[in-house]
Amino acid sequence: MKRLLPFSATAALLIVWFLAAHRQVSGLFPDPLQVLNGLLELLRRGLLAKYVVASLFRVTWGYSLAVVTAIPLGLLLG
């Protein structure tokens, strides 16, 4: 029974996401099935890896710039 707890939490999260996506009126947020279909489409076209690498590049540069500015500023203020 304890081994099923993480799966039940994941299933509950997916159910809440699905219900919340279908209760909205704007259609702005996709449900989990639409996200899965989008991921599969990007994978089929060969673009998923390219987009993941581009996102990781942006995150890495953003974090690096934050560190480069925050550490000297923190030392200056300290």
Query: Is the entire prediction scored with pTM above 0.75?
Result: no
Contact 38, 30 (CB under 8 A): yes
Distance CA 74, CA 60 (A): 20
Residue 27, pLDDT score: 85
Residue 42, pLDDT score: 97
27-74 pLDDT, tens digit per residue, is 899 999 999 999 999 999 999 999 999 999 999 999 999 999 999 999
Distance CA 39, CA 3 (A): 28
Residues 9-14 have a mean pLDDT of 93
Residue 32, pLDDT score: 96
- Nearest CA to 5 among 40, 25, 13, 22? 13
